[in-house]
């Protein structure tokens, strides 16, 4: 997994011009760069608007911070009983076994947490498992991060075993981008380890049909053949996939691999990600263009995470309604309360 870790490596590969390098080095000082050789190989070097490039390579626009943008856009910190746990909903909690990834996605909503102070993982993990034992209403643990498959099979197996030993934890979900960014990680021994811990749901993160390569198809088949249920979440990203036919190709392409689209996420108000943002109007018009055109199996729920920690709500539902001014929306939280959401200046 050598990959590219600095701007020089991108210049050497002809993906970035030497003239652009100094501006990008300033970006990478704030938000780490890491892209696997595999994912780099998917970039079309002749296309400056390549959707793979946009997700993986730094952009000077990341240093622009709009007033509504936050370092903790969905309010994880307000619901974090330990540095590795987020408990927002009564029945489920997120657990971060690592803050590292095989690739740092440029639009990541945890990009500030991921680039923050290192945490003493072992100690915090023990405290997190104690919390789960003390809160038996938590029936589902969602491993996220960071990418949980950064753990070796041995460490992952140990963690899954410790979770299973808590009687109230009935199922585990793993949120991972490895099948997209470094599919070779997913081999038969990982798949059988995961299958041994069923009920276990693996949620991948494909954003563009060009990510459905033979290597990622093999990773998905390895999981599915072992008996792991695989779902996918996509983030709606300007210039990457904010287009009904791109999303249609992605969602039906996933079904070809026995993967069910689960969520389409409206982009969060994360610092330095304004260049990826799409308005709610645009998202809804894409969703409506796909409604009726795609089998229901292919269509995920389009959700927005209420800024500050109100939780996720379906956009096309009465949780989301227009305010009294253009671009103003009222988001009603399932946890109680309402939130005014103002669409930031957008591209369309």
In this structure, are strands 338-342 and 328-332 parallel, antiparallel, or unpaired? antiparallel
**Residue of minimal Cβ distance to ligand PLP:** 88
Helices of type H across the chain:
7-12, 21-30, 37-41, 51-56, 111-114, 121-134, 153-164, 178-181, 188-195, 214-226, 244-256, 280-290
Degrees, nearest 5: CA angle 75-76-79: 100
CA distance 333 to 322: 15
Catalytic residue among 89, 133, 162, 171: 89
Query: Site size for ligand PLP, by CB under 6 A?
Result: 8
Residue 271 CB coordination number (10 Å): 20
Q: Is 147 a catalytic residue?
A: no
Decide if residue 131 touches ligand PLP (CB under 6 A). no
Furthest C-alpha separation in the chain: 58
Torsion angle of the four alpha carbons 343, 76, 155, 216, in this order, in degrees rounded to the nearest 10 = -10
Q: Is 110 a catalytic residue?
A: yes
Q: Is 312 a catalytic residue?
A: yes
Task: Name the minimum Å distance from CB 281 to ligand PLP.
Answer: 23
Q: Is 291 a catalytic residue?
A: no
Decide whether 88 or 111 has the Cβ nearer to ligand PLP: 88
Task: Name the minimum Å distance from CB 344 to ligand PLP.
Answer: 21
Catalytic residue among 59, 72, 147, 268: 268
Per-residue x/- marks for ligand PLP, 54-93, CB under 6 A? --------------------x-----------x-xx--x-
Decide if residue 142 touches ligand PLP (CB under 6 A). yes
In this structure, are strands 260-265 and 301-306 parallel, antiparallel, or unpaired? parallel
Indicate left, alpha or beta for 258 from its phi (over 0: left) and psi (-120 to 50: alpha). left
Q: Is 262 a catalytic residue?
A: no
Catalytic residue among 92, 133, 210, 332: 92
Task: Name the minimum Å distance from CB 74 to ligand PLP.
Answer: 6
Decide whether 13 or 92 has the Cβ nearer to ligand PLP: 92
Q: Is 88 a catalytic residue?
A: yes
Q: Is 92 a catalytic residue?
A: yes
Q: Is 305 a catalytic residue?
A: yes
Catalytic residue among 72, 106, 107, 108: 108
How many Cα atoms are found within 13 Å in the side-chain-facing hemisphere of 96?
24
Q: Is 89 a catalytic residue?
A: yes
Degrees, nearest 5: CA angle 305-309-312: 30
Residues 283-312 that bind ligand PLP (CB under 6 A): 312
Decide if residue 332 touches ligand PLP (CB under 6 A). no
Phi, psi at residue 269, to the nearest 5°? -85, 60
Task: Name the minimum Å distance from CB 163 to ligand PLP.
Answer: 15
Residue 165 CB coordination number (10 Å): 10
Task: Name the minimum Å distance from CB 144 to ligand PLP.
Answer: 8
Task: Name the minimum Å distance from CB 24 to ligand PLP.
Answer: 31
Residues at the site binding ligand PLP, with contacts judged by CB under 6 A: 74, 86, 88-89, 92, 94, 142, 312
Catalytic residues: 88-89, 92, 101, 105, 108, 110, 268, 305, 312
């Amino acid at each position: 997994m050598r990959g590219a870790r600095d701007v020089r490596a991108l210049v050497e590969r002809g993906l970035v011009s030497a003239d652009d390098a100094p501006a990008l080095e300033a970006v990478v000082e704030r938000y780490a760069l890491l892209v696997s050789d595999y994912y780099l190989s998917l970039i079309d070097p002749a296309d400056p608007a390549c959707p793979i490039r946009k997700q993986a390579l730094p952009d000077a626009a990341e240093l622009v911070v709009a007033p509504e943008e936050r370092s903790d856009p969905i309010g994880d910190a307000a619901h974090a009983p330990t540095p590795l746990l987020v408990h927002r909903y009564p029945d489920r909690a997120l657990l971060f076994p690592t803050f590292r990834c095989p690739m740092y996605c440029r639009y990541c909503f945890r990009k500030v947490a991921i680039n923050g102070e290192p945490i003493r993982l072992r100690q915090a993990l023990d405290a997190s498992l104690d919390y789960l034992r003390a809160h038996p209403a938590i029936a589902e643990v969602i491993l996220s991060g960071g990418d949980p498959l950064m753990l070796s099979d041995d460490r992952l197996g140990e963690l899954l075993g410790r979770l299973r030993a808590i009687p109230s934890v009935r199922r585990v979900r793993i949120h991972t981008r490895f099948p997209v960014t470094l599919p070779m990680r997913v081999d038969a021994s990982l798949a059988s380890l995961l299958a041994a811990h069923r009920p276990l749901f693996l949620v991948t993160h494909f954003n563009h049909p060009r990510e459905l390569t033979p290597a990622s198809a093999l990773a998905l088949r390895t999981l599915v053949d072992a008996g792991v249920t695989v779902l996918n979440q996509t983030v709606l990203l300007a210039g990457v996939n904010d287009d009904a036919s791109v999303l249609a190709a992605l969602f039906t392409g996933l079904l070809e691999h026995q993967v069910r689209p689960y969520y389409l996420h409206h982009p969060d108000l994360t610092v330095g990600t304004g260049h990826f943002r799409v308005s709610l109007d645009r998202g809804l018009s894409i969703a409506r263009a796909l409604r009726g055109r795609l089998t229901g199996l292919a269509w995920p729920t389009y959700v927005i995470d209420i800024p500050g920690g109100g939780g996720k709500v379906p956009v096309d539902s009465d949780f989301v309604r227009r305010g009294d001014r253009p671009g103003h929306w009222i988001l009603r939280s399932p946890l109680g309360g309402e939130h005014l959401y103002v669409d930031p200046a957008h591209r369309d």
